[in-house]
A and B are shown apart, each in its own frame.
Chain A
Amino acid sequence: MRRIVLFAALLVGLLAAAAGTASILAGQKAPPITQVGVQVLGPQRLGPLPPVVHPPGNPPSSAKIQLGKELYFDPRLSADGTISCATCHDPALGWSDKGPTSEGIHGQFGGRRAPPVSNAAYSPLQFWDGRSPSLEDQAKGPIQNPIEMGNTHEAMIQTVSAIGAYQSEFKAVFGTGPITVDQVADAIAAFERTVVTTDSRFDRYARGDHNALTKLEKEGLEIFNGKAHCTGCHWGPYFSDGRFHNLGLPPKDPKNPDVGRYAVTKDHRDMGAFKTPTVRDAARRPPYLHDGSEKTLESLIDFYDKGGGKGPNLDPLMVPLGLARHEKAALVAFIKSLDSLNPEVADVKAPALRDLPH
């Protein structure tokens, strides 16, 4: 009798396990947007960036890229003609800004740091919370954000349509017809896909130049890919998994916390989670984290070494690292080796207003 009871218990356990798994499988929905694109295959090795893939709906052309560049630097897209995309995504500041968070129209500050535009072409989702599935979609957002460019799409189109030079350029790129917000976004996105850093000392090392990195930087690479667990999230050529993690940053305003990815998914597991930024060119754009709370690479590494912040819903990937001082120095050295050597990207200068289309 005892054996029968034990056997029955075992059988029930097995069935429960199988049923649980089956229900998980049966309950699977279409892949969430976070699994679209580069992440579908899971973690990838560090290495040079592959060529940019352009969406079929927005093929690039030199004229479109030039138009997009002009629009990117044009402050007239904002309500009062003071804020352009480049105001917060400045090429001279690593395609971000001085932070800690970005200053928009009328001196207003947002709650988050400006994500870098450089290499954003490789990010499957845009914004810190991933609410935009493409650069085209993203480009429309800040224009009508009341604390960024403070405009409306209609007013922006009126402004752009009134500029004669833009009329002819849009006509050349998109054909006849009125200028639309989608065309503006397409042009800006086409330009942003040219802001790609394909060459750094790390990339040269990865391509086989063993002298491209110093001994300390090589140690840093090993630690980045090992004891420091950086590649748990910062993997692949883009040095980002494109996913969302809660690093335990305590909310600056506990009564009105920044919920991060939760605002998009309404999944409590995403509460306070933000997109993994690329590490490429990171040394050029302090401060760090979505709220710009870590001023230097050194303090950022100390933050990770402690296992993150003390806020709730900490990502399970966050554990104390036990890094020695020398290991931290090696990590900083390696991250600096990811600074791009692409002059065509780093040296993009914002044109003066008088040089923009009139």
Chain B
Amino acid sequence: MKRTLTALFTGAFALLVLSQAALAIPAFARKYGANCSQCHVAFPKLNDWGQRFRDNGYQVPGQQGSEKTAFETAIPVAFRTNAGYSLYGTGGQTASGFHIYGLDLLSAGVLHKNISYLFVYTPRIDEPAADYNGPAAGDNPAQLAAIESAAVVFSNIIRDKLNIRIGRFEPGFQLLSSKRLYYILQPYEIYGFAGTHSSFDFSASQIGIEATGRFKPGLKYALGYINGTGANPDNNRWNDVYLALSKTFGRGEGQSAGQRIGVFGYLGWQPTTFVDPIVSPGGDINGKDNRNFYRIGGDISLNWHTFNLQGMGFYAVDDRDFNDLDPALDYKFWGGVVQLDWAGLPNNRLVGSLMFNWVRPPGYDDVHKVDAYSALVRYYLGSWSAVNIAIHAEFTHRVAGTIGPVREDLVTILLDFDF
């Protein structure tokens, strides 16, 4: 029983932790000698200033051309990890333990005027795995090795109106960033949800090319052409496209000031059969019988003082070939998230948040309906430049399925460490 529980516990963690990796880049704070709250409402969530900095290719808006390059600053490398204690319970059973939840290695900077880069690597962590028997046999790692981001940004090709991002990056249709939310263990559920036979992940970093830009007053766009599978190399010959538009009313970017609404659409193809289990040496992709799927949705972000209310939802249709439950029907579902964030104390050293996630699969799917209620408190031990240490407490109550629903509770207290 203990082994089962531990496996359940670890599996839950693997699912949660692998689904996200938060980004914040202390290398920038080191470069500018600034406190992290210059760009973040509270790390890792961007404020309006930080959003403009990111949109401008990691250059201070209006100051491109007079930035120190990555060759003139301290080594532009940063780390983020978090470790703590978690208590997991379901069906009257509990499991608890100390864990390291992940590790990100980041590097970012300006290479030349209007040319910048972002690189994020997550190394494989073989511990703590329920079936851990040593590195050779560790087939259930706490974190998979991955290049989460490796992108170059060409900014201001047309001033403010056209920037090009090439490589692997976080696509711009994620108006609510899955990588910069306060929650460490609770993701946006709908992002990782897809038809029962589809591996598409809305929150995954993607390889491709993206154009972004802004127009007065407050209109922004992101248009992308990506492989859509997150795989490297791609597993099908069909690429995906997306378009996101957002409009901010009032001053700001809708992150910490101003009111923002946005819409997005995503059209993609996924293989339904595979010729071989691996990609051929010649680089040919092995996925066949591609079928399409799409997502269409919107988001809203409302700000009042230091409160930020965000909402996002989308409607999704996956081709019937992705539907294991009823192959005669397309798999249609919808879902979203509502999140209320608050920041307090000088320099926003205290953060609180409430979040509700929901996923609504087709009526005949009695397994995948999800309701998740989350809350968190983060307290930053200091207001330092380029170092963040936060005590983070997070709770989630998650209910999955309609018939004999699985109820899970997860409480975590951890130290979020970033430098």
Contacts and interface: CB of A to CB of B under 8 A. Distances in A.
B249 interface: no
Contacts of B209: 10, 13-14
Interface of A: 3, 6, 9-10, 13-14, 16-18, 20-21, 24-25, 28, 34-35, 39-46, 219, 222-223, 225-227, 229, 231-232, 235, 241, 243, 245, 269, 306-307, 315-322, 324, 326-327, 330
A222 B383 contact: yes
B34 A225 contact: yes
A313 B47 CA distance: 21
22 contacts: A13-B225, A17-B164, A35-B65, A35-B66, A42-B63, A43-B33, A222-B346, A223-B347, A225-B33, A226-B35, A226-B38, A231-B32, A231-B33, A231-B34, A235-B32, A317-B49, A317-B60, A317-B61, A319-B257, A320-B256, A322-B305, A322-B343
Given A232-B60, A319-B52, A322-B306, A13 B32 contact: no
B180 interface: no
Given A46-B33, A226-B36, A21 B257 contact: no
B257 A222 contact: no
Contacts of B113: 24-25, 28
Interface centre among A223, A225, A226, A232 (most CB of B within 10 A): A226
A219 B252 CA distance: 24
B115 interface: yes
Contacts of B407: none
Given A41-B68, A231-B34, A319-B52, 4 more contacts: A20-B158, A225-B35, A320-B48, A322-B343
B346 A223 contact: yes
Given A17-B164, A226-B36, A231-B34, A327 B347 contact: yes
A221 to B, nearest CB: 9
Interface of B: 31-38, 47-49, 52, 56, 60-63, 65-68, 72, 112-115, 154, 156-158, 162, 164, 166, 209, 211, 225, 237, 239, 251-253, 256-258, 303, 305-306, 343-344, 346-348, 383, 385
A42 B67 contact: yes
B346 A327 contact: yes
B344 to A, nearest CB: 8
Contact of B34 (A16, A18, A226, A306): A226
Contacts of B47: 227, 319
A324 B306 CA distance: 9
A307 B38 contact: no
Given A14-B209, A44-B33, A227-B347, A316 B157 contact: no
